[in-house]
A and B are shown apart, each in its own frame.
Chain A
């Protein structure tokens, strides 16, 4: 089955620790995205990547980092510099410009 996988579904960390969220897709999509969703809010773009070895900051990139070494993978690291990391994180991919984005199941991160 083609799709996007994110792991783990729930993640708990202590404040001050970096944590990496996994995102893998087997849709052969060039573009991948990371969004953050807070309760009662829409999605906000953290980072995006249009091709391998290239990525760009979105609207709320501070405190986050990414890599795109393989077409299939786009991991997101939430660093200790992120002031409010507790949120629901969604990864998405799309085949190209203006095409619809397909989303993974999300990772709910709780930092205490």
Chain B
């Protein structure tokens, strides 16, 4: 069975610090996708990024960056110069085919990391 592990349950930083959220996954699929979502206190999940298993190039979007390393099955997320508005629960997720034909799939979520950015 597929698994996503976010070992950091809670992280607390001071504004302007850099912070890295870890994500380690297990899968037997050769083609898969990894995702990061942000869940602010309002509860709605906000999509941040999708990365496929064949693209190990790191990605940067503003203060956000992602480091995908297939060799260690990790997909870590770094926020540079954190801000109070970054406070949220962050989820890492992995796609999983639900049938052998791959026509149905679901996301397996980690348990999330609660990030608190203090002023």
Is B106 an interface position by the 8 A CB rule? Answer: yes
What is the bound-complex CA distance between A33 and B103, given in angstroms? 15
What is the bound-complex CA distance between A48 and B98, given in angstroms? 11
Q: Encode B101-119 as 1/0 by CB contact (under 8 A) with A.
A: 0111111011110000000
Contact of A104 among B4, B44, B110 (CB under 8 A): B44
> Using a Cβ–Cβ cut-off of 8 Å, how many residues does chain B contribute to the interface with A?
26
The segment from A19-27, A67-75, A77-85, A95-103 that touches chain B is A95-103
Whether the Cβ atoms of B111 and A41 lie closer than 8 Å is yes
Contacts of A42 in B (CB 8 A): 4, 91, 109-112
Contacts of B105 in A (CB 8 A): 97-98
What is the bound-complex CA distance between A105 and B33, given in angstroms? 24
Contacts of A102 in B (CB 8 A): 47
Most chain B CB within 10 A, of A44, A100, A103, A108, is at A100
Q: Encode B26-52 as 1/0 by CB contact (under 8 A) with A.
A: 000000010101000011111100101
Whether the Cβ atoms of B107 and A40 lie closer than 8 Å is no
What is the bound-complex CA distance between A99 and B106, given in angstroms? 10
Contacts of A98 in B (CB 8 A): 33, 52, 95, 105
What residues of chain A have their CB less than 8 Å away from a CB belonging to chain B? Answer: 33, 40-45, 48, 50, 56, 58, 88, 90, 92, 97-106, 108
What are 22 A-B contacts defined by CB distance under 8 Å? A40-B9, A41-B111, A42-B111, A43-B109, A45-B106, A50-B103, A50-B104, A56-B98, A56-B104, A90-B44, A90-B45, A98-B95, A98-B105, A99-B50, A100-B35, A100-B47, A100-B50, A102-B47, A103-B46, A105-B42, A105-B43, A105-B44
What residues of chain B have their CB less than 8 Å away from a CB belonging to chain A? Answer: 4, 9, 33, 35, 37, 42-47, 50, 52, 91, 95, 98, 102-107, 109-112
